[in-house]
Amino acid sequence: MTHARRRLQRIARLAAVGGLLCGGLMVTDAVAGEAPGPGAGGTPANDVGTRLVSELGTSRTAGTWMGDDGREVVAVTDEEAAEEVERAGARAKVVRYNMSQLRSATDALGQAPRVPGTAWSLDYATNTVSVQADSTVSAADWDRLSAAAEKIGASVRMERTAGSFTTRINGAEPILAGEGRCSAGFNVTDGRANFVLTAGHCGPAGTTWFQDNSGSKPVGNMTVSRFPGNDFALVQYQNGEIPGGPNVVNIGGGQAVQINGAAEPFVGQQVFRSGSTTGLRTGQVTGLNATVNYPEGTVVGLIKTTVCAEPGDSGGPLFAEGLALGVTSGGNGDCTRGGVTYFQPATKAMAALGVRLTGGGAAANGAAQAPLNPDLPPPNTAGGNAPLNPGGGEGRTVTTILGPDAVAPGLIVITVSLLGLIATRSIWSAQDRRDFRSHYTQSWG
């Protein structure tokens, strides 16, 4: 019995140690298997869905998104299109409204009288246009907007939301001007000068921005600012030089993420945001082409996410897998209770401004590389402060950030194996003590 028990004990311990090794390998594989950005040969995660939507057209599709199981989903309006989607390896969802009808609904909402404190976006998963009204919207305005939605049809879904939609003034390094504070987004260039891409609502053209409250460390002047309508701006570095090294985003703890290119996000994508107030935060893309009626004016074409943000995070970078996705515009809620945050798409901003990421970052996911813009003001060579890394600085640069889902299976295996090893040792130690007492009790007896 003793020899058998010892063999069983050894087997249990070997199994637990094997589990620890297996879990470690799973975590290592998750880290090593993270897809690089396009600059390193990567491809967008929803490439199949995007291609299918393009091939089938807006009259037969209503968007594509990443499902909870990691499989691409394409909304279609007929069974023949559904079969084509399934053959391509994606999952089809047959819906009532096509993309043309949903866009027509958003156009009709845009033509209605403007109501500050409202926002709407296409909700692909529910095949509706989701309209939200914050706590500042009066009952009369709510009734008027509801009547407009009812006239458009069942494709429009109305809902109240807590808090209020505001811009986030107050990379993620802080840039300051007067009483306002924003965050640096991405370093961009027009081929002659270097700029920080940030939010347009941070200030008008001509505003001078600094790295400190005392005004002793100038960043540069805001040469272009577009808000409302859009929400992007350029701050030209005072020395006019192209910064050396990669375009990076600070994520705290002395670490920074390298940005390899720019892309358009997709619904269901896990994304990360960094800002000078709340640091690094994560969430999912829940809508595209969103419209937000801020108190200061209306902004269209935004990315809707579940990432939180607070005042001072405005202009900060939105990114994923080493790709620049957008800059922080505004939203509601905070990072204690959660909320909704909207972002100006980076690809559209750069195309409109005629700039590109520094460090040779390429456009991805079908986004066109922005041409150099000869109409931007000539470089300002006065002064001599060093280039500002958007949230970046000295420290370790990583290529991507792992979400919790990537390493969770390996960590679970490690935890269970460790608990099993401890429990096995405890059980057999207790059994050995009982055998010891039993042996000597019989000897004394």
Residue 79 C-beta-side C-alpha neighbours within 13 Å? 0
Residue 172 structure tokens: 């993620």
Catalytic residues: 201, 231, 314
- Return phi, psi of residue 94, to 5°: -80, 125
Distance CA 238, CA 219 (A): 6
Residue 416 structure tokens: 């269970």
Q: Which residues of 204-237 are buried (b: 16+ CB within 10 A; e: fewer)?
A: eeebbbbbeeeeeebbbbbbbbbbbebbbbbbbb
Contact (CB, 8 A) for 240 and 381: yes
Contact (CB, 8 A) for 314 and 180: no
Distance CA 153, CA 157 (A): 9
Count each helix (H run) and each strand (E run) in the chain, helices first.
Answer: 7, 26
User: Which residues have C-beta within 8 Å of that of residue 70, sequence separation ≥ 6?
Assistant: none
Report strand pairing: 317-320 vs 270-275: antiparallel
Distance CA 228, CA 178 (A): 21
Q: Is the dihedral of CA 281, 173, 392, 362 positive or negative?
A: positive
